[in-house]
Chains A and B, each alone.
Chain A
Amino acid sequence: MAVIEAKNLSKVFGKNTKQTLKLMDKGLTKDEILKQTGNTVGVNRANFSVEEGEIFVIMGLSGSGKSTLVRLLNRLIEPTEGSILIEGQDLAQMDKKALRKVRREKLSMVFQQFALFPHRTILENAEFGLEVQNVPKEERKKKATEALQMVGLGDYIHQKPGQLSGGMQQRVGLARALANDPKVLLMDEAFSALDPLIRKEMQDELIDLQSSMKKTIIFITHDLDEALRLGDHIALMKDGVVVQIGTPEEILVHPANDYVEKFVEDVDRSKILTAEHIMKRPETVNIDKHGPRVALERMREEGISSILVIDGKRNLKGYITAEDASHARKNESSNLIDILRTDIPKVKKETTMHDIFTIIHDSPTPVAVVEDDKLVGIIVRGAVIAALAGDGEVNL
């Protein structure tokens, strides 16, 4: 079930917003509306749903409305129209008290510039969310300490934020958000202010945290690499409009329009695409049933010089070459075992192309893709190169 759902969610900054909404319906762009009315379209009819336990990345360049969108989700900015369903309840319709309750119990936010309270210690910062709920002192201290330990800051609890580095400050921000055990974490460019090394480290930790805690995370970023690394789904925004929503692969491989295509063209595809995306259905012979004659026949049909050998359970046994097979046929041998070669490189479905390069470079044969020793596909050099060039056929 969707934890958060945005329906027709829009924000217009300025006066006479209803009229602007009509212009938006007519399909006018952000620039045209600004010229005509002087109003700025923050978010234009965003629709998406976020499933429990996933990392949903909202990505766009500055001015695309992504920070506005995330603030609509907890109503730090009041939506002009549309609804925000949190576990089925519409946040946009709630009164202040109900809204506070949702903010306290279901949504936490992590900020780009950390937004730690400089007059409070690290522990007091982490306690903040619980403190405003009037949780008893002992209990909130315990929970905040646990959250701080989870992000690796157990030793710094009595320092002030100003004494910590940027990376550590953002850990505090994360701990503060985790301490009141929210359903959903809203992370607004949470790692953008960090230097690249720390950022990567934090991304890894976030992935770990997410897989152990099963939080639903909505992550805002302007950095495509970050989006591709973290996101289970990515929503791409431009001028307040959600242009495309999909898995990282879908966005890379089937960009919805020119804008997305241009956006993704510089991505290092080799780090995103995996063996699964570029493998082909393998031609095989069964070691228990077939002999050299069948093997040769199949190779000729497919125009290949070697063929993979499996058993009845599709376990990969090895491969035979055309040369060996024709020798065997001349010698009237009917057994494949004698000519079976086993030095075939194997990769898993999740292996990235980046890692496949080196393997395929050193191997005279195609690379087999296996899962639990069972053969699921084959990768030939041509497919790797085509996929990298961006125009090859890719399985999704």
Chain B
Amino acid sequence: MLRNTLDFIPEIPIAEGTEIVTDWLKNTFSFVFNPIKEHFGNLMEFVAEDILMNIPPIIFIILVALLAFFVTGKKLGLAAFSIVGLVLIYNQGHWDDLMNTVTLVLLASLLSVIIGVPVGIIMSKSKIANAIFTPILDFMQTMPAFVYLIPAVAFFGIGMVPGVFASLIFATPPTVRFTNLGIRQVSKDLVEASDAFGSTGVQKLFKVELPMAKATIMAGINQTVMLALSMVVIASMIGAPGLGSQVLSSLQRAQVGTGFVAGLGIVILAIIIDRITQNMNKKNV
């Protein structure tokens, strides 16, 4: 009896609506999306193929090892791990995939930071902005990452660019949240001191709040980079090249070994990036 009581409400056409909106966006703003797709695509290709892949692997590995060495305060552990790990990836024939993945992760993270830090600052300064952005961030983080692939393809076709777009949506929230948190956590005393000496809002932000919040913001950026990396496999579903696409093709062909090797490559990259960004944070405290 009661099974059908709610049937009097006709089904609300959310799915259709979303599609209409997306189509409208795609058609109306194609003059925005198309140049982005083209120029950004060219830029990524340039970074991946003309720069990173042109650096001899041995030089690249040494540079990463040196960075790891100095960032960890001249300890050998991470540097040694970087050398062994990267050589292993090269040895397994995944070097070009690695370079593609690095490009995707770096650009997605960079854009996330460029967008996320200012948004975080605005949220920390304005209650209204905070109230508006918080649910949006929740939405961005909880919506399954696969869903972002659909509009990404609609707007940008397939390849690296929609991959970055999807990563951007998925990976930006931690930077925003941590920036907001970091600035709100600056001790009231210091904010008062800054005000009492007649700082303008901008002076206060750059001379006191951002420096004090730096550690927290860096923790957020670290999370953003990790999330961007975790999008690598998902983004490969829409044709983003890299280690992820190797994992995906192994999955489709049920090749456990190849899949494991490509996955291992992602893990190695993740550990190197994570430890390097974390140690940058420690050094700056």
Contact = CB atoms under 8 A, between A and B. Distances in A.
A100 B200 contact: yes
Nearest to B193: A115
A113 B193 CA distance: 11
B207 A128 contact: yes
A83 interface: no
A176 B190 CA distance: 13
A132 B197 contact: yes
A115 B198 contact: no
Contacts of B194: 128, 132
A100 B198 contact: yes
B208 interface: yes
Given A100-B200, A129-B198, A109 B193 contact: yes
Contact of B203 (A105, A117, A132, A180): A132
A163 to B, nearest CB: 15
Interface string B190-229: 1011111111100100011001101000000000000000
Contact of A132 (B189, B199, B212): B199
A108 B208 contact: no
A104 B197 contact: yes
Contacts of B193: 109, 111, 115-117, 128
A111 B198 contact: no
Contacts of B196: 74, 76, 103, 107-109, 186
A113 B197 contact: no
Contact of B195 (A76, A105, A114, A117): A76
Given A117-B208, A119-B211, A128 B197 contact: yes
A113 B198 contact: no
A176 B193 CA distance: 10
A342 interface: no
A272 B115 CA distance: 63
Nearest to B190: A115
Given A113-B189, A132-B203, A180 B197 contact: yes
A93 interface: no
A107 to B, nearest CB: 7
B213 to A, nearest CB: 11
B190 A117 contact: yes
A115 B193 CA distance: 6
A119 B195 contact: no
A133 interface: yes
A283 interface: no
Query: Which of A105, A108, A116, A119 has the largest count of B CB atoms less than 10 A from its CB?
Result: A119
A131 interface: yes
Query: Which of B189, B200, B208 has the largest count of A CB atoms less than 10 A from its CB?
Result: B189
Query: Which of B193, B207, B214 has the largest count of A CB atoms less than 10 A from its CB?
Result: B193
Nearest to B212: A119
Interface in A86-140: 100-105, 107-109, 111, 113-119, 128-129, 131-133
Interface residues of B, number: 18
Contacts of B192: 71, 76, 109, 111, 115
A128 B203 CA distance: 10
B136 to A, nearest CB: 29
Contacts of B208: 117
B42 to A, nearest CB: 40
A133 B197 CA distance: 9
Given A117-B208, A131-B207, A108 B189 contact: no
Interface string B177-199: 00000000001011011111111
A103 B192 CA distance: 12
A114 B212 CA distance: 16
A133 B199 CA distance: 8
Contacts of B203: 132
A29 to B, nearest CB: 28
Contacts of A103: 195-198
A131 B192 CA distance: 16
A111 B189 contact: yes
Contacts of B207: 117, 128, 131-132
Contacts of A74: 196
A354 to B, nearest CB: 38
Contacts of A131: 207
Contact of B198 (A117, A118, A132): A132
A118 B159 CA distance: 46
A83 to B, nearest CB: 19
A111 B212 CA distance: 18
Interface string A163-197: 00000000000001000100000100000000000
B90 to A, nearest CB: 41
B199 to A, nearest CB: 5
B195 A108 contact: no
Contacts of B190: 115, 117
A156 B68 CA distance: 34
A49 to B, nearest CB: 22
Nearest to A125: B193
A101 B192 CA distance: 16
Q: Which 10 A-B pairs have the closest CB atoms?
A: A104-B198, A103-B198, A115-B189, A115-B193, A109-B196, A129-B197, A100-B198, A119-B211, A132-B199, A132-B203
Given A104-B197, A117-B193, 7 more contacts: A100-B199, A109-B193, A111-B189, A111-B192, A115-B192, A117-B207, A118-B212
Interface of B: 187, 189-190, 192-200, 203, 207-208, 211-212, 214
8 contacts: A100-B199, A100-B200, A109-B197, A115-B187, A117-B208, A128-B197, A132-B198, A132-B203
